[in-house]
Chains A and B, each alone.
Chain A
Amino acid sequence: MRVARSRTGRLARSLRGFGARFSLAISAILALALFIFSQVSPAPLERLRAAVDGVLAPIIYVVNLPVRVVEDVVIWGQDVAFLYRENIRLRDENQRLMEWQLAAQRLATENSRLKSLLDVHDMQATPIATARIIGQSAGNYVRTILINAGQNAGVAPGHVAADRSGVLGRVITVSPTTARVLLLTDLNSRIPVKVLPADVNAILAGDNLDQPMLTFLPAGSQIAAGDWVVTTSHGGIFPPDMPVGRVALTPKGGKPRVMLSSDLTRLDYVRLLAFTPATPPPTAAETPPAAEAPQPSP
C-alpha cells in the first residue's frame, strides 16, 4: 500500500516537474516570438503601448506622490543651505540680464522691422499645451518621458516638446490622456540641426548617453566648443532656430557632442508645439481686394 502511494507521489511530482518545465519553455519561446513579431510589425505594439500608458499614468502619479514629498523636503533643505551664496549669484546674474534685456529689446524691434521690410513669411510653431511629466523610462534601452496631455488636449505624434531652455524631443505615441516624448538623447532620435555661427547643418543623433552626437557634419566644417546648436526646419519637423544646446569639448578623434540646453535629468513641465512648415504666400486670387487693404497714410 505504502509502496503504491509513494509511486503515485513520485509520478505526480515528476508530472508537476514536467508541467513546470513545459510552461517555462513555452513562456520563453512565446517571449522571443513576441519580440520578433514586434520587430516585424511595430504598429499594433505602438497602439498597445499608448493604451498601457493611459492606464498606468494615474497609477504612476499616485506612486509618485510620496516620492515628491521626500524630494521637496530634500530640495528645500538644499535651497536653504545655499541661500546666501545663491543670493549673491542671483544679484550678479540679474545685473547682467538687465543689460541683456535692453540689448534683446533693441534687437527684437530691429528684427521685426527688417522682417516686415523683407516681407518674410515666418514659420509658425503653434503652442498646443503645457504638460507635466508623469513618468520616465528606466534602464538603458530608451530615453522617453510620459506626459499628462494627450489626444484630448490636441497633442499628436510629431509635436515638438520643449521646456524654457530649449528643445527636448518629440511626441511619438499618444493616448487620450497621455503622450510619450522621445528625448533627443534616445538611441532612435535623429533631428536636423544647425551649428552657429558657422551655419553648418548636421544631424543630432542620440545614443542613450547624456550628450547626443553631431553627425553628418560637412568635411572641414569649423565648429568649436561653445558654439550654439539650434533646430532647422529641414524635414518639416521642427520650427527653425529653437535652442538645442552648445557644442561640448570634443576629445581628439571623437564625434562632437552637444550639451543640451535643458537639463533632461530634472524636468518638470514641458511645452508642446505643433509646427506647420511655411505655407506659400497667398496667390492673387486669395489676396483681399485692394479697396479693403489698409491705405498708406499720406
Chain B
Amino acid sequence: MMRLAHQTLAFIRGTVPIITALLLMLLEFVPYRFAHIQAIMPHLFLAAAYYWALFRPDLMGVAPLFLAGLLYDLANGGAFGLTAFALVVMHYFAVSQRRILAGRLFLLSWLGFISVAIAYGIADWLMLSMITDAPVKSTPIVMQTLMTVSVYPLVARFLGQIHRLALDR
C-alpha cells in the first residue's frame, strides 16, 4: 500500500515539469486587455521548455516536448509541426551543452536561452517571409524576442522555486 502511494507520488512529481510548461503555454493564449500585448507576448512556453530540458532532461524528454509542441501549434493555429521541430532542436542543444549551461552561474544558462530565442526568432522570420513570399517587417519579431529574453530570469526563478519545492533540487 505504502509502495503504491510512493509510486503515485513519484509519478505526480514527474509530471511537474510538463504541467508547468503547459500552464505557461496557456498563459500565452489568454486574451489580455492591455494594448498590443498580443504582438509582443513573450514566448513563455519556450522559456519553460528550455528550463526543464536543461535542468531536468530526465523528466522533460524529447517525446513530451514534441507532443507539447504539436499541441502549441494546434492551439495557436500556426504552421503545424514547426514548433515541435524547433523544440526538439532546442532540446538537443540544451542537453548537449548541459555541462556548460546548467552550472552554478545563472548568466550562462541565460546566455544559452538568449541564443535559443534568437535562433527561434530568425526561424520565425524566415518562415513568415517564406509564407508571404517577401521579407516581412522584423520589428514585431525582434520585440517579441527581446520580451522573451527579458522574462527568462523571472520564469527561471519561478520554475526554480517549483523545482526546489516539488522535486527536491
Seen from chain A, the residues whose Cβ lies within 8 Å of a Cβ on chain B are 20, 23-24, 27-28, 30-35, 38-39, 45, 48-49, 52-53, 56, 59-60, 63-64, 67, 71, 74-75, 133-146, 180, 187, 207-210, 263-268
Contact = CB atoms under 8 A, between A and B. Distances in A.
B27 interface: yes
B82 A60 contact: no
A28 B85 contact: yes
Contact of A35 (B34, B61, B74, B80): B80
Contact of B131 (A23, A32, A187, A264): A187
A75 B33 contact: yes
Interface of B: 23, 26-39, 41, 43, 61-63, 66, 69-71, 74-82, 84-85, 88-89, 91-92, 95, 124, 127-128, 131-132, 136-137, 140-141, 144
Contacts of B41: 138-139
Contact of A63 (B26, B63, B88, B137): B26
A128 B137 CA distance: 37
Interface SS majority for chain A: helix
Closest 10 pairs (CB-CB, A-B): A35-B81, A141-B78, A31-B85, A34-B81, A38-B80, A138-B28, A31-B84, A27-B66, A265-B35, A142-B77
B132 A136 contact: no
B36 A265 contact: yes
A265 B36 CA distance: 5
A145 B131 contact: no
Which DSSP category, helix, strand, loop or mixed, fits chain B's interface? helix
Nearest to B42: A138
Contacts of B78: 137, 139, 141-142
A263 B35 contact: yes
Contact of B71 (A52, A133, A145): A52
Contacts of B61: 23
A280 B140 CA distance: 47
A267 B62 CA distance: 37
Given A32-B81, A141-B76, A71 B131 contact: no
A67 B23 CA distance: 13
Contacts of A207: 132, 136
Contacts of B82: 31, 35
